[in-house]
Amino acid sequence: MKKMMILLSLISLGATAQKIDVNKQFALAGQQYMRMLADHPDTSKTIHSAKPDGTYRDLPSSWWCSGFFPGSLWYLYENTKDVKWEKSARLWTAAVEKEQYNKGTHDLGFMMFDSFGNELRLTKDPHAKKVLIQSAKSLASRFDPKVGLIKSWNSFKGGFTYPVIIDNMMNLELLFWASRETGDPTFHDIAITHADNTIKNHFRSDYSSYHVICYDENGKVLVKKQHQGYQDESTWSRGHAWAIYGYVTMYRETKDKKYLDFAQKITDFYLNHPNLPADKIPYWDFSAPNIPNEERDASAGAITASALLELSTYSGAKGKRYYADAVKMLESLSSPAYRAALGENNNFLIKHCVGAKGLNSEIDVPLVYADYYYLEGLLRYQRHNKK
Ligand code: GLY
């Protein structure tokens, strides 16, 4: 009887015990990123991916991904409290600073909030605050009230001059922060208008998403297109992951239930899709033509895992499913199927990502943002289990 009681309590402990050893994963990440830093003695080019010939694909700070490597260094610092990571994170964050004046891109949220935003959160450095306010001003300059959306790119094939991509949802968090910080409601209002028009035009009735919507100068939809995914009427997996993360953020920032409801609906499209594999890491497009013989996009898996961990906390009974699926995604990403061994994968953490198969670019490679959202997801998972 006593033995049976011990067994039962062990089983119930097992059911609630953490499935992923977050500190172990961070220790591995630290070793891998020490190698990455040793290979990159200067910060003039930002760490992005690897080329087919096995060399690094490093790009200038104006590239939309320049905030992710510094952001990952900040997450390493957050987990370990080791000052060596703070030192590296400050150095790599400073390398992005000049982009605060860049009005040629909508990606300033990614670039500045993942670098300087994490610096501010973890160090309270007033300089980071100044940089972020200027970044929000530059981003807001791309909003035209007649269109009601932030312009993503300056042009798109076919002669379109006001393209908006679903990824743009990720840049709104910077605007909410700027409104709170400055007391100026303009940033907040831009974010709301952009998100509402995106709900109106960027989704189909089954809550799947388009990648690119091209508008005219009065905000009329001209065409709905694909760019990085398979076809105009398919759903590009990472684009949909950006949408999920973006509307979870909208709910966090506004507490307006309409965004929570919408975040849940687009999440359910993703989780219930018949083409989502058992390990919950999607193919690069939900309708890629040769599934199951298509590449996975682990970056979409990492972004979604992190978003679902937050969504689970807002979703009552439904939250259990979001949490369980997020944990499954993180478990998959932490397994040798996706998690690089020491020294492998050009020292990135996550393998098997796709940048844009439709453009024959970055197919089955590491991508710096997969690492960033994987580390963020691990931290959220750890916080969730400490509650
Ligand atoms: N924001 C571009 C991408 O997700 O590839």
Q: Residue 5's pLDDT is what?
A: 43
Q: Residue 18's pLDDT is what?
A: 72
Q: Residue 17's pLDDT is what?
A: 57
7-29 confidence digits (pLDDT tens): 444 333 333 457 899 999 999 99
How far apart (Å, rounded) are the C-alpha atoms in residues 366 and 354? 8
Question: Is residue 305 within 8 Å of 373, Cβ to Cβ?
Answer: yes
Q: Which of 167, 297, 325, 371 is catalytic?
A: 167
Q: How far is CA 130 from CA 111, 120, 125, 206, in A?
A: 15, 10, 9, 42
288-307 confidence digits (pLDDT tens): 999 999 999 999 999 999 99
Q: Residue 236's pLDDT is what?
A: 98
Q: Residue 386's pLDDT is what?
A: 87
Ordered DSSP codes for 1-58: -HHHHHHHHHHHHHHHS-SS-HHHHHHHHHHHHHHHHHH----SSEEEEE-TTSSEEE
**DSSP, res 339:** B
Beta partners for residue 365, in sequence order: 353
Verify whether residue 107 is a known catalytic residue.
yes
Q: Which of 21, 53, 58, 107 is catalytic?
A: 107
167-226 confidence digits (pLDDT tens): 999 999 999 999 999 999 999 999 999 999 999 999 999 999 999 999 999 999 999 999
Q: How far is CA 244 from CA 100, 195, 293, 383, in A?
A: 26, 12, 26, 21
Q: Which atom of ligand 1 is nearest to the CA of 369?
A: 4
Q: Residue 11's pLDDT is what?
A: 39
How many whole angstroms from 363 Cα to the centroid of ligand 1?
Answer: 13
Relative to beta strand 163-165, strand 221-225 is unpaired
Checking if the pLDDT of 234 tops 50, the result is: yes
Q: How far is CA 220 from CA 148, 154, 197, 199, 377, in A?
A: 10, 17, 11, 14, 37
Atom 2, ligand 1: residue with shortest CA distance: 167
Residue 84, burial from CB neighbour count under 10 angstroms (0-12, 13-18, 19+): middle
Q: Residue 94's pLDDT is what?
A: 98
Question: Is residue 294 within 8 Å of 309, Cβ to Cβ?
Answer: no
User: Predicted confidence band at 6 (pLDDT cuts at 50, 70, 90)?
Assistant: very low
83-131 confidence digits (pLDDT tens): 999 999 999 999 999 999 999 999 999 999 999 999 999 999 999 999 9
Structure tokens at 88: 């590296």
Q: Residue 10's pLDDT is what?
A: 38
368-382 confidence digits (pLDDT tens): 999 999 999 999 999
Average pLDDT, the chain: 95
Q: Does the pTM of the predicted model rise above 0.85?
A: yes
240-250 confidence digits (pLDDT tens): 999 999 999 99
How far apart (Å, rounded) are the C-alpha atoms in residues 284 and 39? 29
Checking if the pLDDT of 311 tops 90, the result is: yes
Verify whether residue 167 is a known catalytic residue.
yes
Residue list, ligand 1 pocket, CB within 6 Å: 64, 167, 228, 238, 355
How far apart (Å, rounded) are the C-alpha atoms in residues 247 and 262? 7
How many whole angstroms from 121 Cα to the centroid of ligand 1?
Answer: 25
Q: Which atom of ligand 1 is nearest to the CA of 64?
A: 1
Structure tokens at 16: 């609630």
Question: Is residue 110 within 8 Å of 62, Cβ to Cβ?
Answer: no
